[in-house]
């Protein structure tokens, strides 16, 4: 069947279903829509749409766009109320209207285009409709019956959040998007409010599940809930009441489907995917789905190819929105950990919580607010009035002051011979030291031959290796003065005796293997990796000595900082995770026992490492696997190392078990660093897909990290830090160009197009 002339069934009369019906009818298709509710039935109150979404609507249907534009309430400001202090950031640009009015506009447009609207009509099963219609669009919401009946094909997952929330309304218009925090005897509650009409505002009240229960709100009906919330936020509401509209406390559920279509049935909007309300994306996503589906059907010759194109083209945008929404949701779930931040930093943190608004973006929107946040952070102003980017402010750990907040992350190069770093390492580390970073870290340097990951791993168990490292340290300190050089010490544990990364990552050597040791006799990859020997008391003592001896050599080499590698499933990490430590002695079982050996090693190293030089520890804050290390465990682990003298915690994740399922994405590991920093007050190094200097500035200003480690960006560009300074027109002491390179401190002119 050609996509040019079809019979279309739409299940669900929310904004996504109605707008899809209108667009497809406008293309000449015969469209019939089922909605089990009445025309004016709806939940919630106001709907926020972005300029991007409105632009798509305008291009697709000027009639709908004109009707919406006539109704919109617009505003620019975001107000954040923190402990009675009001902070305002402008330049954001919002547009909203009542949900009921939105539905009326779409009803009128559908009727004018000949869509048959069936209200108060329960739709037949979508797969039953599929036999009589060329296309069935299931826009039947978050509780989609279509998704449920076709679960074997769509393969949905639903992940509940940790908060309860309720949609309410106030009969007056806020003059901004307002976030207000209430610190009650039961815990932290938050209000999200925005206008949707000249005399009306949406008010969402949200709090952690345990706070909701402690406050007794689980026992309240709709009227009592509205009354209690109005009293809690009386100042924000100016003493006015709140009202409901079938308003029930609920938990947000993130819906993801492996497939959005099966045959000629396609999911759309909340039936296909959900994104947390705190970034105002539910209706926006549904409307954009409708635009994308209509465009795909218009461009493709048949339904199967159109549905495939729709999903292929739309899924990346949805995934990006869901990642942003998840970051925002988790921020509000962990709100109690941020309320002690200074007011402006708290507001900046809130505004940048989803990672879609960044330091640079916010500076364009509201330079005055952003400069105030920078001043609070300690960014000095230059004589010409320009500010110092946060990333170029100094940071002190023990007796070491770093000139900026950029760290070249440890990256295994697999290029040593018999553990000896050679000219490659001199050029690799020396080049990055010349590139401007405040701290350059070595790869994991192994403390014994048996502790190597591969035959190409560098070590510090011989005098020859130490001499080679001293040569590198001397070069860095002489040729890149002001750059600190750090060494990361580690032992591969059960992940050793493998091929070089580019020959087969985690693949055992074909020959020349050495015996492996670990906390427990568990292979990294069952049936592939060698089975390690569980360490005994004498082995533990020997390994402690190996670490201490390597630390003495590292100090003699002149390294400025030492990091103990307790992450990524290597030996010490293997003791920490319950997935890899099955011991029944004093080093296994509860977390305090699993911590015992890594802490013994840390203490042995700290004892011989010079007292004025800092020590950090790298941790995997989650194993990305059921039954593994939890964020709560990570806090306890970080607290234990801090109590033993760790000057900072380098917070990574995963690589502990082969069956992990990481949640990859931009800055995807930084929430774990953020949590540890704000829960414990210990300095943290954030790492994990941080790729832009804007991200670095944002993380620092928001108080989510003290230092940011970047790996791949420094492989792409050894002078990443200096180039970041040039791109921000910064030429201060936080990023001095080496004298021989100063002529290149400005971006070369490009050819004219």
List the catalytic residues: 570
Helix (H) or strand (E) holding 107: helix 99-112
Distance (Å, whole) CA 478 – CA 472: 10
The CA distance from 125 to 7, in Å, is 16
Q: 3-state DSSP call for residue 195?
A: strand
Q: Which two tokens stand for residue 468?
A: 């080679």
Retrieve residue 704's tokens: 């989510």
Using CA atoms, how far residue 51 sits from 19, 58, 125, 198, in Å, is 17, 10, 36, 20
What is the distance of C-alpha 196 from the center of its chain? 30
Contact criterion met (CB below 8 Å) for 249 and 166: yes
Angle at 586 between CA 581 and CA 590, to 5 degrees: 55
Q: Which tokens is 477 given?
A: 């300190």
Pairing of the two strands 261-262 and 116-119: unpaired
- The CA radius of gyration of the chain, in Å to the nearest whole number, is 29
Q: What is the DSSP letter of 604?
A: H
Place of tokens 């069947």: 1
CA 395 to chain centre: 24
**261 phi, psi to nearest 5 deg:** -140, 155
β-strand 261-262 against 265-267: which pairing, if any? Answer: antiparallel
Using DSSP, state whether 737 is helix, strand or coil: coil
Helix, strand, coil % in the chain, rounded to nearest 5: 40, 20, 40
Whether 685 contacts 650, CB under 8 Å:
yes
**Helices and strands (H and E) in the chain: how many:** 27, 29
Contact 488, 563 (CB under 8 A): yes
DSSP per-residue string spanning 54-92: HHHHHHH-HHHHHHHHTT-EEE--EEEEETTEEEEE---
3-state secondary structure of 661: coil
Q: What gap in Å lies between CA 716 and CA 710, rounded to an integer?
A: 11
Output the six-digit token pair for 125: 């099963």
d(CA 9, CA 1): 15
Q: Where are the beta strands (DSSP E) in 536-635?
A: 561-566, 615-620
CB 627 within 8 Å of CB 660: no
Distance between CA atoms of residues 218 and 216, nearest Å = 5
HEC-encoded secondary structure of 405-470: CEEECCCCCCCCECCECCHHHHHHHHHHHHCCCCEEEEEEEECCHHHCCCCCCCECCCHHHHHHHH
Beta partners for 87? Answer: 80
**Spatial distance between the Cα atoms of 226 and 464, rounded to a whole number of angstroms:** 73
The token pair at 511 is: 């020959």
Q: Where are the beta strands (DSSP E) in 106-243?
A: 116-119, 135-138, 156-160, 163-170, 177-184, 187-197, 200-208
């Amino acid at each position: 069947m050609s996509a040019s002339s079809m019979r279309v069934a739409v299940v669900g009369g929310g904004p996504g279903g109605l707008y899809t019906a209108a667009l497809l009818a406008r293309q000449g298709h015969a469209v019939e829509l089922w909605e089990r509710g009445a025309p004016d039935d709806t939940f919630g109150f106001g709907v926020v749409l972005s300029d991007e979404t409105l632009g798509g609507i305008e291009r697709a249907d000027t009639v709908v766009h004109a009707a919406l534009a006539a109704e919109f309430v617009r505003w620019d400001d975001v107000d954040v109320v923190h402990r009675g202090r009001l902070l305002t950031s402008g330049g954001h640009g919002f547009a909203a209207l009542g949900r009921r009015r939105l539905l009326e506009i779409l009803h009128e447009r559908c009727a004018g285009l000949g869509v048959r609207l069936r209200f108060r009509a329960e739709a037949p099963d979508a797969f039953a409709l599929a036999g009589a219609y060329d296309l069935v669009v299931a826009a039947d919401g978050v509780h989609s019956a279509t998704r449920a009946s076709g679960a074997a094909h769509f393969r949905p997952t639903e992940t509940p959040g940790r908060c309860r929330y309720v949609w309410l309304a106030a009969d007056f218009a806020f003059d901004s998007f307002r976030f207000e925090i209430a610190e009650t005897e039961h815990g932290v509650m938050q209000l999200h409010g925005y206008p949707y009409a000249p005399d009306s505002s949406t008010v969402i009240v949200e709090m952690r599940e345990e706070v909701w229960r402690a406050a007794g709100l689980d026992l309240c009906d709709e009227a009592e809930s509205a009354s209690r919330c109005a009293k809690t936020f009386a100042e924000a509401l100016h003493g006015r009441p709140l009202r409901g509209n079938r308003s029930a406390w609920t938990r947000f559920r993130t819906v993801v489907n492996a497939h959005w279509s099966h045959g000629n049935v396609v999911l759309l909007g909340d039936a296909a995917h959900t994104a947390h309300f705190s970034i105002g994306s539910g209706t926006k996503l549904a409307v954009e789905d409708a635009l994308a589906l209509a465009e795909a059907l218009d461009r493709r010759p048949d339904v199967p190819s159109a549905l495939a194109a729709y999903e292929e083209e739309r899924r990346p945008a949805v995934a990006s929105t869901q990642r942003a929404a998840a970051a925002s949701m988790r921020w509000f779930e962990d709100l109690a950990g941020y309320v002690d931040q200074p007011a402006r930093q708290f507001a900046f943190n809130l505004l940048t919580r989803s990672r879609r608004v960044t330091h640079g973006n916010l500076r364009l929107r509201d330079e005055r607010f952003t400069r105030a946040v920078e001043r609070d952070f300690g960014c000095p102003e230059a004589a010409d009035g320009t500010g110092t980017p946060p990333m170029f402010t100094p940071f002190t750990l023990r007796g070491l002051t770093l000139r900026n907040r950029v760290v070249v992350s440890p990256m295994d190069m697999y290029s040593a011979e018999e553990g000896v770093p050679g000219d490659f390492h001199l050029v690799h580390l020396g080049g990055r030291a010349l590139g401007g970073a405040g701290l350059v870290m070595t790869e994991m340097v192994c403390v014994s031959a048996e502790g190597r990951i591969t035959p190409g791993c560098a070590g510090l168990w011989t005098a020859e290796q130490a001499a080679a490292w001293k040569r590198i340290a001397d070069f860095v300190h002489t040729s890149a003065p002001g750059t600190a050089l750090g060494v990361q010490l580690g032992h591969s544990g059960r992940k050793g005796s493998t091929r070089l990364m580019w020959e087969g990552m985690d693949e055992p050597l074909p020959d020349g293997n050495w015996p492996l040791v670990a906390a427990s006799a568990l292979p990294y990859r069952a049936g592939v990796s060698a089975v390690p020997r569980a360490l005994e008391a004498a082995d533990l003592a020997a390994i402690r000595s190996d670490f201490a001896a390597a630390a003495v050599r590292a100090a003699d080499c002149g390294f400025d900082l030492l990091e103990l590698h307790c992450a990524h499933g290597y030996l010490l990490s293997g003791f920490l995770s319950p997935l890899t430590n099955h011991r029944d002695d004093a080093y296994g079982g509860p977390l305090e026992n699993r911590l015992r050996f890594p802490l013994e090693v840390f203490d042995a190293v700290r004892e011989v490492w010079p007292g004025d030089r800092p020590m950090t520890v790298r941790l995997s804050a989650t194993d990305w696997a059921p039954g593994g290390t939890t964020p709560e465990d990570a806090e306890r682990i970080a607290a234990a190392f801090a109590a033993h003298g760790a000057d900072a915690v380098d917070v990574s994740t995963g690589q502990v078990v082969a069956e992990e399922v990481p949640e990859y994405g931009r800055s995807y590991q930084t929430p774990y660093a953020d949590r540890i920093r704000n829960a414990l007050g210990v300095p943290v190094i954030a790492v994990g897909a941080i790729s832009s200097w804007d991200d670095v500035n944002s993380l620092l200003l928001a108080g989510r990290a003290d230092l940011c480690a970047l790996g791949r960006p420094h492989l792409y560009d050894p002078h990443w830090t200096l180039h970041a300074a040039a791109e921000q027109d910064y030429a201060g002491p936080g990023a001095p160009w080496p004298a021989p390179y100063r002529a290149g401190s400005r971006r070369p002119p490009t050819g004219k197009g």
